[in-house]
Amino acid sequence: MPFFSFSINEINTPFKKFNIASNNVYFSKNTELWKNLNKQNSSVVNFLKREKRLPVKNISKNILFCLPPSIGLGDAFEYAMAIKTISEKVNFDKVAVAFPGEYYFVFQNFFKIENIYPFIIKKSEINNFDTVFHLTLEIKSLINQKYLRSNIFEEIINFFNIKNIKNKQIEIERKLKINTISIFPLSSSPIRTMPIKILNGLIKFLTKDYYVEIFLDHNSKISNFLYDKINLEKAVVIDPKNKQDLISSIKNIQYGIFMDSGPLHVAKMFNKKGLLLETSVSSKTLLKNYNLIKGIENTFSSVFCNAPCGLTDIFNYENTYGCYDSLKIKSTTCQNNNFKNLINRGVKNYYLENIKKPVGCTSSLNVQNIYNVIKKDLSL
């Protein structure tokens, strides 16, 4: 998705949600807005232009952090936590955030960041900042997060030479009697989503001793597929009405079983206890400096890759869709080539296919091993 500028002279329906005024110049990275602008004729759009992101020469006192487009809930918490830490540890006069999209409330409500431009920013406003800091331009390790996931929070604060402070964890969480186990099987990617075999196996084991709730999302095709296959004889499905409702629910859980997805990062913020099922992204990376959630390491190995490989999603390679192992491509070859032959366009059309037939690291999860770890964890 490009960084672009635009101006319009007619405010019609597609633009009302963005709070755009006519005949002003704006900057954005929003995919929906870009598509809508390209559909309009010249009577509506004054101009639409791709902009080059310019590297920062010197970091000055007024800084605007420009996020990459289309971040997820988990990424929003990591970026917000890093930017909040920077604002507290570095002597800036003004700190602002541009393009968090629908997750602007995370920055605003949970991290009390005041200056936020969710979807667009006026040219007159962006000119007030002497430092416009595009995070994935300046911090090279953030460029290939889709293919080689690292800890976003760590990458950002290390760039600003801030010593990491361990999360404050509430030990009382360990002492509470656990009556309810909450399972969060969903991810935005099939390779980080819990296989239905594992989900039903956990329901079978856990409902003997615990009240079990499964968090799903009726707006997700992956979720709807799982829902149709779940054994709901004893478990209960929770379908939060929106992301704010999901976050509120996570705040009140007793013990969670997580995949690599947004709820994991929310649970960390609320100092929750639980278990992370590792697939393609390292649990050590995701849980660094956090010990209330334990990670089950994935030991899958093939001639093409070893888990965790770092991928966050399937990819398109020469018009075939999958991961290193399913497409029989060596991960080391792709990494040495800086992932140049891998693209993400069109992958969502193949999500259900990869849910129905899980990739190697996901299908290698063992429900009995997971249950044994949960039993041990809850007996402490």
User: Do 275 and 313 fall within a single domain?
Assistant: yes
**Cα angle 86-92-96, degrees, rounded to a multiple of 5:** 70
**H helices of 299-366, where?**
324-327, 331-336, 351-356, 360-363
Domain range for 27 is: 4-50
**Of 379, 110, 81, the residue nearest 251 (C-alpha):** 110
Q: How many domains does the chain have?
A: 3
Q: For residue 220, give the CATH number of its domain.
A: 3.40.50.2000
Query: 3-state DSSP: the chain helix, strand, coil percent, rounded to 5?
Result: 40, 20, 45
More confident residue, 116 or 171: 116
Q: Per-residue pLDDT tens for 56-92?
A: 999 999 999 999 998 999 999 999 999 999 999 999 9
Structure tokens at 148: 């080689």
Is-contact 157 85, C-beta < 8 A?
Answer: yes
What's the first-to-final CA gap in the chain, in angstroms? 48
Residue 41 binned pLDDT confidence (cut-offs 50, 70, 90): confident
User: Do 247 and 188 fall within a single domain?
Assistant: yes
Predicted pLDDT of residue 379: 85
Residue 171 binned pLDDT confidence (cut-offs 50, 70, 90): very low
Residues 6 or more apart whose CB falls under 8 angstroms from that of 48 comprise 4, 5, 6, 37, 38
User: Do 139 and 253 fall within a single domain?
Assistant: no
Q: Is the pTM of this model over 0.85?
A: yes
Across the range 131-157, mean pLDDT stands at 94
User: Do 191 and 292 fall within a single domain?
Assistant: yes
For 105, other C-beta atoms within 10 Å of its C-beta total 16
pLDDT tops 70 at residue 335: yes
User: Do 321 and 182 fall within a single domain?
Assistant: yes
Alpha-carbon span 79 to 101, nearest angstrom: 13
Q: Is residue 135 situated within a structural domain? A: yes
User: Do 201 and 147 fall within a single domain?
Assistant: no
User: Do 255 and 300 fall within a single domain?
Assistant: yes
User: Do 37 and 80 fall within a single domain?
Assistant: no
Is-contact 98 285, C-beta < 8 A?
Answer: no
Predicted pLDDT of residue 292: 95
Q: Per-residue pLDDT tens for 195-247?
A: 999 999 999 999 999 999 999 999 999 999 999 999 888 899 999 999 999 99
Predicted pLDDT of residue 10: 82
Using only C-alpha atoms, the chain has a radius of gyration, in whole angstroms, of: 22
Q: Is residue 164 situated within a structural domain? A: no
For 333, other C-beta atoms within 10 Å of its C-beta total 11
Structure tokens at 165: 């402070």
Range scoring the smallest mean pLDDT among 124-133, 148-157, 164-173, 216-225: 164-173
Residue 172 binned pLDDT confidence (cut-offs 50, 70, 90): very low
pLDDT tops 90 at residue 345: no
Is-contact 307 299, C-beta < 8 A?
Answer: yes
Most distant pair of Cα atoms in the chain: their distance = 68
pLDDT tops 70 at residue 329: yes
Q: Per-residue pLDDT tens for 92-135?
A: 999 999 999 999 999 999 999 999 999 999 999 999 999 999 99
Q: Is residue 55 situated within a structural domain? A: no
Q: Per-residue pLDDT tens for 255-271?
A: 999 999 999 999 999 99
User: Do 75 and 224 fall within a single domain?
Assistant: no
DSSP 340-357: TT-B-TTGGGGHHHHHHS
Structure tokens at 275: 């278990």
User: Do 185 and 220 fall within a single domain?
Assistant: yes
**Of 260, 257, 310, the residue nearest 286 (C-alpha):** 260
Cis peptide bond upstream of 308, omega within 30: yes
Judge residue 272's burial from the number of C-beta atoms within 10 Å of its C-beta, 0-12 exposed, 13-18 middle, 19 or more buried: buried
More confident residue, 70 or 137: 137
User: Do 283 and 150 fall within a single domain?
Assistant: no
Range scoring the smallest mean pLDDT among 32-46, 72-86, 160-174, 184-198: 160-174
Q: Are strands 94-98 and 320-322 parallel, antiparallel or unpaired?
A: unpaired
Q: Is residue 171 situated within a structural domain? A: no
Q: Is residue 74 situated within a structural domain? A: yes
Is-contact 2 34, C-beta < 8 A?
Answer: yes
Q: Quote the percentage of the chain above a pLDDT of 90.
A: 87
Q: Is residue 372 situated within a structural domain? A: yes
Identify the DSSP state of 21. P
Residues 6 or more apart whose CB falls under 8 angstroms from that of 133 comprise 56, 59, 63, 64, 65, 66
Q: Is residue 324 situated within a structural domain? A: yes
User: Do 139 and 217 fall within a single domain?
Assistant: no
pLDDT tops 60 at residue 330: yes
Residue length of the chain: 380
**Of 103, 63, 61, the residue nearest 83 (C-alpha):** 63
Please tell me the number of Cα atoms within 13 Å of 27 on its side-chain side. 20
Alpha-carbon span 146 to 144, nearest angstrom: 5
Q: For residue 84, give the CATH number of its domain.
A: 3.40.50
Q: Per-residue pLDDT tens for 266-320?
A: 999 999 999 999 999 999 999 998 999 999 999 999 999 999 999 999 999 999 9
Q: Is residue 165 situated within a structural domain? A: no
- On average, the pLDDT of the chain sits at 93
pLDDT tops 70 at residue 55: yes
